[in-house]
Amino acid sequence: MKRLLVSACLLGQKVRYDGRAKTLLHDCLTGWQNAGRVVAFCPELAGGLPVPRLPAEIEPGYDGDDVLAGRAKVVDYEGGDVTAAFVTGARMAVDLARSRGCNYALLTEASPSCGSAVLYSGHHDGGRRDGFGVTTAALRGAGITVYNPAQIDALTSQFAG
């Protein structure tokens, strides 16, 4: 049976930095959950960060691949280096996806972990830029296809069955 790794916040779990969820309501996602095909995961919690926590961003001009390669850091709003937690969570996501047979992932957008097309600017100013997070980079590197909520229809066509 195909399984799908899904950001826990998209499933209604209050795990985001601000203690909220970012629930995605979609009939296909509900059906996959009911069929036992969804594996919920929050890489930031798995990496040891608390809820709530300070917002964090990847340094300006870098992306998840750069963080994994040690060329960039993930920094919280007060300047704290939280890179290790993000890298640990990303590695745990890959391990979980592999162990549970997940060839696809549905991750929230803009997150320094889970963003797949958009990240925050890295300046903690609310700006956004093209890019992808640490967990997305790790999953893609492991051959797992990552989708964001705006791409759920494309995911549905790939994940059906």
pLDDT, tens digit, 9 for 90 and up, residues 103-138? 999 999 999 999 999 999 999 999 999 999 999 999
Rg of the chain over all Cα atoms, to the nearest angstrom: 15
Which residues have a Cβ under 8 Å from the Cβ of 101 and sit 6 or more positions away? 1, 2, 3
Q: What is the mean pLDDT of residues 59-64?
A: 98
Q: Give the number of other CB atoms < 10 A from CB of residue 35.
A: 10
End-to-end CA distance of the chain: 8
Work out the pLDDT band at 72, boundaries 50, 70, 90. very high
Judge contact between 161 and 120, C-beta under 8 A. Answer: no
**CA gap 121, 58 in Å, rounded:** 8
Given a cut of 70, whether residue 161 has pLDDT beyond it is no
Structure tokens at 41: 């995961």
Structure tokens at 145: 């296809």
pLDDT at 159: 84
**Four-residue CA torsion sign, 113, 118, 124, 126:** negative
Q: pTM of the predicted model, to two decimals?
A: 0.97
In whole angstroms, how far apart are CA 144 and each of 45, 50, 97? 21, 27, 8
